[in-house]
C-alpha cells in the first residue's frame, strides 16, 4: 500500500465493523525500514477505548486508506494500563 504520509493527518479511522475509532494525529515512522510503522490517535472514541485515551495502531492493521482509513480488525473495547 503506497501512501503519502502528509495525506494521513486528520483522516478518520474506522474499525472493521464500521465504528469510528478517531482521527489520525500523528504517524509513527520506522526509519530503519523506511516505512510507516503505525498511526497515532490522540483522542479516541471512548466507546471503544477506555477514557478516550490516546492509542497507536500498527500500520499492518490497516486494510485500506482513501477518504477514510479502514482497519482489518479492532478490539471490542481497549483497556488502558495504569501507570
pLDDT at 1: 63
> Which band of pLDDT confidence, cut at 50, 70 and 90, is reported for residue 82?
confident
Domain 5-59, CATH: 2.30.30
CA-nearest of 24, 14, 72 to 48 is 14
Q: Over 80: is that where the pLDDT of 22 sits?
A: yes
At 12 the pLDDT is 98
State mean pLDDT over 17-42: 95
Task: Give 13's pLDDT tier (boundaries 50, 70, 90).
Answer: very high
pLDDT value of position 74: 96
The pair phi, psi for residue 59, each rounded to 5°, is -65, -25
Q: Which helix (H) or strand (E) holds 12?
A: strand 12-14
Amino acid at each position: 500500500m503506497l501512501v503519502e504520509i502528509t495525506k494521513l493527518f486528520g483522516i478518520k479511522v474506522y474499525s472493521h465493523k464500521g465504528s469510528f475509532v478517531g482521527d489520525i494525529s500523528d504517524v509513527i515512522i520506522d526509519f530503519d525500514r523506511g516505512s510507516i510503522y503505525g498511526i497515532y490517535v490522540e483522542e479516541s472514541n471512548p466507546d471503544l477505548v477506555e477514557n478516550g485515551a490516546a492509542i497507536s495502531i500498527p500500520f499492518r492493521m490497516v486494510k485500506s486508506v482513501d477518504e477514510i482509513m479502514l482497519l482489518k480488525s479492532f478490539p471490542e473495547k481497549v483497556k488502558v494500563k495504569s501507570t
